[in-house]
């Protein structure tokens, strides 16, 4: 049976794979995550997921590597992780009272095959007050999350509705990832 390796230090992705009862190890990718401006959000997440997975695959080529990347996009603008409190506030202000897209790209790489795909989930926020946004930022939760919020934490209080895969917003479209892994020899039955 091939070893499964997650090319991410994300505690949320780790938790999701554990939830699926997969046996895996973690080897964090060190690739540059600079975004090519001319790509669409779906192309960006697929490119970054592939870069991360390929980076780890180069050191573990007898394994199956899972790379993933998540971004938030509103009106064609990609929102990454905030760099400071003001950046987080501006992102949350942009999302307030509107819907936005969350894209997660996934790359599965082994010696035998490579599969790259993405999922898109539409999230609608309630109208947020400046106090709500500031209190949320003070919690510290926004700082390692695309779009400055985590749907699995306090950020859930901002979500009016979602259309699509909830786990995609958390950071990994779990059911699709597991289904794709079943197409790799000797992984899961």
Residues known to be catalytic: 69
**Which stretch of DSSP H or E encloses residue 74?**
strand 64-74
Q: What is the pLDDT of residues 66-115, one digit of tens each?
A: 999 999 999 989 998 899 999 999 999 999 999 999 999 999 999 999 99
Q: What pLDDT is attached to residue 110?
A: 95
Cα distance between residue 69 and residue 55, in whole Å: 14
Q: What is the pLDDT of residues 164-184, one digit of tens each?
A: 999 999 999 999 999 999 988
Residue 38 in 3-state DSSP?
Answer: coil
Give the CA dihedral 74, 168, 135, 91, nearest 10 degrees.
-20
The domain locations on the chain are 4-181
Q: What pLDDT is attached to residue 186?
A: 57
Positive or negative CA dihedral for 131, 136, 137, 138?
A: positive
- Domain 4-181, CATH among 1.10.1040.10, 3.50.50.60, 1.10.275.30, 3.90.950.10: 3.90.950.10
pTM of the model: 0.92
For the chain, the 3-state helix, strand and coil shares in percent, each to the nearest 5, are: 40, 25, 40
Cα distance between residue 46 and residue 55, in whole Å: 14
Query: Which of the residue ranges 6-20, 23-37, 138-152 would you say has the lowest mean pLDDT?
Result: 23-37
Q: What is the pLDDT of residues 22-70, one digit of tens each?
A: 999 999 998 888 776 688 999 999 999 999 999 999 999 999 999 999 9
């Amino acid at each position: 049976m091939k070893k499964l390796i997650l090319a991410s230090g994300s505690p949320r992705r780790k938790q999701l794979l554990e939830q699926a009862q997969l046996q895996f190890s973690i080897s964090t990718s060190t690739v540059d995550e600079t975004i090519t401006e001319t790509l669409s959000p779906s192309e960006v997440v697929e490119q970054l997921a592939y870069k991360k997975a390929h980076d780890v695959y180069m050191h573990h080529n007898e394994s199956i590597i899972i790379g993933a990347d998540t971004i938030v996009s509103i009106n064609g603008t990609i929102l990454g992780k905030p760099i400071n409190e003001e950046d987080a506030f501006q992102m949350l202000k942009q999302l307030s009272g509107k819907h936005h897209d969350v894209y997660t790209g996934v790359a599965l790489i082994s010696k035998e095959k490579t599969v790259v795909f993405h999922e898109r989930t539409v999230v609608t926020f309630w109208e947020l007050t400046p106090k709500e946004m500031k209190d949320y930022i003070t919690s510290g939760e926004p700082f390692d999350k695309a779009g400055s919020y985590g749907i699995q934490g306090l950020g859930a209080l901002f979500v009016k509705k979602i259309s699509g895969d909830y786990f995609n917003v958390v950071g990994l479209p779990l059911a699709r990832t597991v289904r794709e892994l079943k197409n790799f020899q000797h992984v899961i039955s």
